[in-house]
């Protein structure tokens, strides 16, 4: 199996690459970094990289492209969200121009957002059978991106598609620029002795999954996906409900400090319901993966943020 991880420099993409290496599979790396904000340049880069990937794969191997290039977030403008969808459509189009024999040996695994897509659901426990309930432009664009790949997969000899709807990711190295990631935000504030602004109630329940756990489940699901199905949607989650108050308490124990918490509201505060619980019904053998405990995961985040802070002070 040969894999190409698009978004390999990000939180999830880098973890997917680590997981692929652990399984001993080969990884394709384009000879250039994608210029995501350069509209015309990016299109040509995706075209060139897709052609290079086909050559790299050769005539015999099966392949997987992982799309983990989530440049959008809840605060993104419609134009920013559409630029991400446009980039994905370019990839799909350039893959479709490759020989059908190459296409039929491949699969595209797409990292999507469970929390966003099911945000408006009234179901107590959300599974793959739960109806989509988007409440934001971000969630609606994610569904649009999923549909691009699902439609493509149903074409004759086209690559199959595995849609992985992931719960709330956290882990070392979460980008500051994306303005998301509560676990990393708390660590940064504690290390810098700053107040912590939280825009939802402390009893809000979410499913937090450590990024390496999510990546292991994702690559396992991709490896075990029956490509004859053509397209499949799964939920990747820890399945452990956690309140924000529990996260704050864990930081208190680990740092022996009392975080200065300030709660307030924004336009996005009421977008998500107070409680989101996930249970996956898929049969792709991901249940046996060990879940990283919250204290261990937060310890890793604290260590990473301390290193970043020390380097910034040099």
* Average pLDDT score, the chain: 90
10 and 60 share one domain: yes
Residue 263, pLDDT score:
81
**Could you give the CA distance from residue 9 to residue 68 in angstroms, rounded to a whole number?**
9
247 and 294 share one domain: yes
137 and 250 share one domain: no
176 and 92 share one domain: no
Residue 63, pLDDT score:
96
State the average pLDDT over residues 243-266.
Answer: 89
Residue 70, pLDDT score:
73
Report whether 106 contacts 59 (CB < 8 A). Answer: no
Q: Which domain holds residue 82?
A: 2-169+208-236
Provide, rounded to the nearest whole percent, the portion of the chain with pLDDT above 70: 92
229 and 106 share one domain: yes
Lowest mean pLDDT: which of 24-33, 47-56, 279-288?
A: 279-288
Given the DSSP bridges, would you call strands 231-236 and 160-166 parallel, antiparallel or unpaired? parallel
Residue 59, pLDDT score:
85
48 and 160 share one domain: yes
Confidence of residue 265 (pLDDT cuts 50, 70, 90): low
Domain count, the chain: 2
For 92-137, how does the pLDDT look when each residue is reduced to its tens digit (9 = 90+)? 999 999 999 999 999 999 999 999 999 999 999 999 999 999 999 9
225 and 189 share one domain: no
180 and 119 share one domain: no
Q: What is the 3-state secondary structure (H, E, C) of the chain?
A: CEEEEECCCCHHHHHHHHHHHHCCCEEECCCCCCCCCCHHHHHHHHHHHHHHHHHHHCCCCCEEEEECCCCCCCCCCHHHHHHHHHHHHHHHHHHHCCCHHHHCCEEEEEEEEHHHHCCCCCCCCECCCCCCCCCCHHHHHHHHHHHHHHHHHCCCCCCEEEEEEECEEECCCCCCCCCCCHHHHHHHHHHCCCCEEECCCCCCEEEEEEHHHHHHHHHHHHHHCCHHHCEEEEEECCCCEEEHHHHHHHHHHHHCCCCCEEECCCCCCCCCCCECCECCCCCCCCCCCCCCCHHHHHHHHHHHHHHHHHHHCC
132 and 245 share one domain: no
For 172-219, how does the pLDDT look when each residue is reduced to its tens digit (9 = 90+)? 988 765 556 899 999 999 999 999 988 888 999 999 999 999 999 999
Residue 77, pLDDT score:
76
Residue 53, pLDDT score:
97
Confidence of residue 61 (pLDDT cuts 50, 70, 90): confident
Residue 267, pLDDT score:
57
175 and 195 share one domain: yes
Residue 288 sits in a domain whose CATH number is 3.90.25.10
Confidence of residue 227 (pLDDT cuts 50, 70, 90): confident
140 and 79 share one domain: yes
Q: Which residue(s) pair with 234 in the sheet?
A: 164
Residue 23, pLDDT score:
83
Residue 29, pLDDT score:
96
Phi, psi of 205, deg, nearest 5: -105, 130
Residue 269, pLDDT score:
54
268 and 291 share one domain: yes
**Could you give the CA distance from residue 146 to residue 164 in angstroms, rounded to a whole number?**
9
The answer, as to whether pTM is greater than 0.85, is: yes
Residue 45 sits in a domain whose CATH number is 3.40.50.720
């Amino acid at each position: 199996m040969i894999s190409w991880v698009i978004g390999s420099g990000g939180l999830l993409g880098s973890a997917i690459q680590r997981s692929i290496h652990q399984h001993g599979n080969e990884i394709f790396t384009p000879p250039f970094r994608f210029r995501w904000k350069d509209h015309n340049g990016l299109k040509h880069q995706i075209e060139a990289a897709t052609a290079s990937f086909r050559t790299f794969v050769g005539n015999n191997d099966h392949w997987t492209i992982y799309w983990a290039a989530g440049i959008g977030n809840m605060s993104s403008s419609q134009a920013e969200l559409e630029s991400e969808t446009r980039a994905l459509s370019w990839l799909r189009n350039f893959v479709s121009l490759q020989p059908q024999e190459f296409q039929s040996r491949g699969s595209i695994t797409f990292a999507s957002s469970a929390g966003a897509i099911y945000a408006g659901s009234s179901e107590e426990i959300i599974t793959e059978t739960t109806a989509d309930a988007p409440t934001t432009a971000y969630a609606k664009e994610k569904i649009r991106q999923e549909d691009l790949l699902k439609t493509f997969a149903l074409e004759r000899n086209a690559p199959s598609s595995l849609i992985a709807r992931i719960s709330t990711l956290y882990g070392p190295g979460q980008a500051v620029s994306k303005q998301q990631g509560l676990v990393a935000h708390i660590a940064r504030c504690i290390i810098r002795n700053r107040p912590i602004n939280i825009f939802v109630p402390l009893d809000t329940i979410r499913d937090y999954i450590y990024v390496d756990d999510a990546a292991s489940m994702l690559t396992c699901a991709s490896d075990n996906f029956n490509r004859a199905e053509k397209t499949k949607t799964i939920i990747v989650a820890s399945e452990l409900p956690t309140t924000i108050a529990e996260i704050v308490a864990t930081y208190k124990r680990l740092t022996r400090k009392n975080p200065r918490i300030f709660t307030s509201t924004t336009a996005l505060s009421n977008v998500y319901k107070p409680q989101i619980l996930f249970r996956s019904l898929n049969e792709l053998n991901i249940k046996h993966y060990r879940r990283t405990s919250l204290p261990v995961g937060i310890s890793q985040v604290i260590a990473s943020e301390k290193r970043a802070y020390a380097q910034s002070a040099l």
